[in-house]
Amino acid sequence: MKKFFVIGHPVAHSLSPVIHQAFAAQFDMQISYETRDFEPGNFIDCMARLRREENPVGVNVTVPFKEDAFAYCDEVTDRARAARAVNTILFDGTRAIGDNTDGVGFVRDVIGRCGVPLQGARVLVCGAGGAARGVVAALKPLGCAKIAVANRTHEKAVQLGVGLGVEAVTYVDTAREGWEVIINATSASLSNEAPAIPNVTFKNAALAYDLMYARQPTPFMRLAAESGAARVEDGLGMLVEQAAEAFRIWLGVGPETAPVLARLR
Ligand code: NDP
């Protein structure tokens, strides 16, 4: 049986095994998909052991190892290079080929499921980590009217902006302009906080989208709704879409995402 894993720390809570088994069932495929908790600081040894003992076809990589995975791979795709982070590895013989499906997962969820156009939209991305880089890289070819990035540590937003050719703004400055789409690509929700976005920034927002997902609306989602955003979404749809793209990379077939998302909800 073909074996797959999601690697993280902690990772026991991951929804990826359920998602990938639901995809496999659509094609009557039998796969093995398990979580594997790697010891932080020991990625290369843990991966060598996993490959030796389990011989996986592919792995997903989640927090905090996406940058380790990027450094580890023998070959990476352009979108992984733009994000400087790998969330999907395909093992081709002895070679590890790294990709990043987060950005395309986000775009497919926003355009396909939410029905919000990104072409011609003014888009604000909050955060400057791997997820923000992946989202900005995926937005770049779509013809947005403007893409700007804001981050708590402004210098990191500037670096991201220079690297990917978008403007860096401070959170305070975001109040001076109108934005149709505002994306929370920070991990602030993990500490039960919202990024310091002024209320007025949400005034014209057709969509406020938090990459995080939880049973309850996140602090960013509550802030956006209270501040007048027309629609507020969490990142569960993105999670399912990024998984579908990984499934396609490993197994060559594209699963239906809507029934899987409905089941998770
Ligand atoms: P990183 O650790 O690389 O980056 C974290 C970012 O969040 C940094 O920009 C950091 O700012 C900012 N941040 C952290 N805490 C706060 C706070 N209290 N207030 C304001 N900003 C804060 O994480 P990733 O980029 O890998 O992931 C970001 C989020 O996206 C995670 O929550 C992750 O779960 C989610 N995600 C969801 C996916 C999905 O499929 N739905 C896929 C990928 C990611 P600073 O630079 O100042 O430290």
CB of 153 within 6 A of ligand 1: the answer is yes
Å from CA of 183 to ligand 1 middle: 11
**Residue 87, in any domain of the structure:** yes
Task: Tell me which residues of the chain have a pLDDT lower than 50.
Answer: none
Give the residue numbers marked as catalytic.
66
| 8 and 49 assigned to the same domain | yes
Q: What is the model's pLDDT at position 258?
A: 98
- Same domain (yes/no): 44, 163: no
pLDDT in tens, 44-81: 999 999 999 999 999 999 999 999 999 999 999 999 99
SS3 143: coil
Amino acid 190: pLDDT: 86
For residues 91 and 110, membership in a common domain is answered with: no
Q: Do residues 179 and 153 share a domain?
A: yes
- Cα of 190 to ligand 1 centre, how many Å? 9
Structural domain containing residue 13: 2-100
Confirm or reject: Cβ of 185 under 6 Å from ligand 1.
Answer: yes
CA–CA gap between residue 179 and residue 171 (Å, rounded): 13
- Copy the structure tokens of residue 242: 């990024």
Give me the CATH number covering residue 145. Answer: 3.40.50.720
110 and 84, same domain (yes or no): no
Residues 116 and 219 in one domain: yes
Among the candidates 49, 81, 100, a domain finishes at 100
Domain boundary among 100, 120, 144: 100
Find all residues with CB under 8 Å of 138, minimum gap 6, and list them.
Answer: 79, 102, 103, 104, 106, 107
Q: Are residues 119 and 47 in the same domain?
A: no
86 near 100, Cβ under 8 Å? yes
Q: By CB neighbour count within 10 A (0-12 exposed, 13-18 middle, 19+ buried), where does 51 fall?
A: middle
Question: What is the number of domains present in the chain?
Answer: 2
Query: Are residues 232 and 137 located together in one domain of the fold?
Result: yes
Whose alpha carbon is nearest atom 16 of ligand 1?
Answer: 188
Q: Say yes or no: CB of residue 192 within 6 Å of ligand 1.
A: no
Our CA dihedral for 247, 252, 253, 259, rounded to 10 degrees, sits at 0
151 C-alpha to center of ligand 1: Å? 10
- Considering the domain architecture, whether residues 42 and 93 belong to the same structural domain is answered as yes
Q: What is the CATH number of the domain that holds 60?
A: 3.40.50.10860
Atom of ligand 1 nearest to the CA of 126: 9
Residues 62 and 150 in one domain: no
* Beta carbon of 126 within 6 Å of any ligand 1 atom: no
Residue 153 lies in a domain: yes
Contact (Cβ atoms closer than 8 angstroms) between residue 119 and residue 184: no
Which of 186, 209, 257 has the most ligand 1 atoms within 8 A of CB, as the residue to mutate?
186
Distance from Cα 184 to the centre of ligand 1, integer Å: 8
Cβ 191 under 6 angstroms from ligand 1: yes
Residues 44 and 68 in one domain: yes
82 and 172 within one domain: no
